[in-house]
């Protein structure tokens, strides 16, 4: 199995890079951990906020062009990252 800078793939690495290094995305991710419902994970909540939220509708992808809801992004790795923020 090939990884990308220790992450599952480029898409996961890119999403994690932006979440960890952009203040707005970082704070949003932390809030998603706190406020996700019982029927969703923090990553699912973050994706919903980025793709369908009032602010997120304008931030549907990373500045490098990876969509927040890209199926290639490893949700297990992103949930782990978010819980550790």
- Quick check: pTM over 0.85? yes
Separation between Cα atoms, residue 8 and residue 69, nearest integer Å: 15
Would you state the pLDDT for residue 12?
Answer: 98
Domain parsing of the chain, residue ranges: 23-84
Cα 32 from chain centroid (whole Å): 10
Per-residue pLDDT of 15-50, as tens digits, reads 999 999 999 999 999 999 999 999 999 999 999 999
Six token digits for residue 8: 């599952």
């Amino acid at each position: 199995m090939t990884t990308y800078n220790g992450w599952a793939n480029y898409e996961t690495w890119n999403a994690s890079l932006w979440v960890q290094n952009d203040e707005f995305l970082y704070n949003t991710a932390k809030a998603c951990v706190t406020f996700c419902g019982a029927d969703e994970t923090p990553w699912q909540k973050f994706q919903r906020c980025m793709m369908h939220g009032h602010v997120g509708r304008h931030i549907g992808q990373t500045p490098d062009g990876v969509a927040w809801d890209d199926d290639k992004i490893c949700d297990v790795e992103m949930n782990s990252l978010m819980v550790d923020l």
